[in-house]
Amino acid sequence: MSRIGKSIIEIPANVTVSEKEGLVTVKGPKGELTQQISEGITLKQEDGILTFDRPSESKQHKALHGLYRALINNMIQGTATGWTKQLELVGVGYRASNQGNRLELALGFSHGIVLDLPKEITVETLTEKGKNPIITLSSFDKQLLGMVAAKIRSFRKPEPYKGKGVRFVGEIVRRKAGKSA
């Protein structure tokens, strides 16, 4: 039984949700997102409340019921308020800077890394003396934001001995003891 799929979604006043032939479109002040949903999963919209129904109790329909409810909920929250992820660069000499949507990273390699971000994502870099540089990514598309953040993290994942690398703010890196003398 999908508990996530059964729960309702309250639609904010400034967001509109429309469905046509299995294509759900969500429009809000931050942007517009679309999602194709599979046949069988139906959505009902009444008085600013969105509910999802499935045709049968099969395992596949139960999984898709919860999946599409979660995806549409993320789209509604993203177009209404937006999503934010923060990455922290831990290591001596690690730097980050941006010009518009172009992110430049110095992560201890012989060359700098330049990443052109999609137009849907805004980036800010913060560098304070004595603190680790922080990259703040924000967007209305949660899936795209997660993919870009994972891509940036993949350039230098946190290593377990010194903890150096790119990590999410608040992420806990399990540390290992080095060689014993």
Strands 16-20, 9-10: pairing kind? unpaired
What one-character DSSP code corresponds to residue 171? P
Nearest partner of 86 among 116, 41, 131, judged by Cα:
131
Give the CA radius of gyration of the chain.
21
Identical fold, 3-80 and 83-168: yes
Question: Where along the chain do its domains lie?
Answer: 3-80, 83-168
Q: Angle at CA 142, nearest 5°, toward 139 and 147?
A: 95
* pLDDT tens per residue across span 110-127: 999 999 999 999 999 999
pLDDT in tens, 20-57: 988 999 999 999 999 999 888 888 999 889 999 888 88
Joined together, the tokens standing for residue 44 give: 């009902």
Per-residue pLDDT at 1: 44
Distances (CA, A) of 159 to 74, 97, 166, 167, 174: 31, 23, 9, 10, 9
Superfamily of domain 83-168: Ribosomal protein L6 (3.90.930.12)
CATH number belonging to domain 3-80 = 3.90.930.12
> Tens digits of per-residue pLDDT, 78-109?
999 999 999 999 999 999 999 999 999 999 99
Which residue, 163, 167, 132, is CA-closest to 152? 167
Q: What is the pTM of this model?
A: 0.89
